[in-house]
Chains A and B, each alone.
Chain A
Amino acid sequence: MQVPEITCLQFLVLGLLMDGELRGRSIRQRLSELGHEKSGPAYYQFMARLEEAGFVAGRYEKKVIDGQVIKERVYKITGNGVRAREGFVNFAVANAGVRLQGA
Chain B
Amino acid sequence: MKEINRASDLSDAELVILADGACRTIEHEAMKSAILLSGHGIEGKSVFAVEVPNHLLRTPSVWSDVIVTDAQEGEQTSKASVLFMQAKHWGTPREALSPEQTASNPVPARERVERRRSPCVMPDFPRFWDLFAYLLPSKIRAQAYEPALQELREDYLVARRRYRTNSSRRWLTLCFTVRTALLVVQSFRVLVGDRALRFLRWLAIGILGDGAIRLLRGFFEVMRRG
Q: B-contacting residues of A (Cβ < 8 Å)?
A: 3, 7-9, 24-25, 39-45, 48, 62-73
Contact = CB atoms under 8 A, between A and B. Distances in A.
B112 interface: no
B186 A42 contact: yes
Interface in B142-163: 143-145, 147-148, 150-154, 157-158, 160-161
A70 B150 contact: yes
Enumerate the 8 nearest inter-chain pairs by beta-carbon distance, A residue then B residue, closest first.
A40-B148, A41-B144, A48-B143, A45-B144, A41-B187, A39-B186, A65-B157, A73-B147
8 contacts: A7-B221, A41-B186, A42-B144, A44-B143, A66-B157, A68-B153, A70-B154, A71-B150
Contacts of A71: 150
Interface in B173-226: 183, 186-187, 189-190, 193-194, 214, 217, 220-221, 224
A41 B83 CA distance: 28
Contacts of B122: 68
B161 A41 contact: no
B150 to A, nearest CB: 5
Contacts of B158: 65
B8 interface: no
A29 to B, nearest CB: 11
A42 B122 CA distance: 27
B85 A67 contact: yes
B151 A41 contact: no
B150 A41 contact: no
A44 B157 contact: no
Interface string B117-137: 000011001000000000000
B147 A24 contact: yes
A44 to B, nearest CB: 4
A39 B143 CA distance: 13
B157 A25 contact: no
Contacts of B140: 41, 45
Contacts of B143: 44-45, 48
A95 B224 CA distance: 22
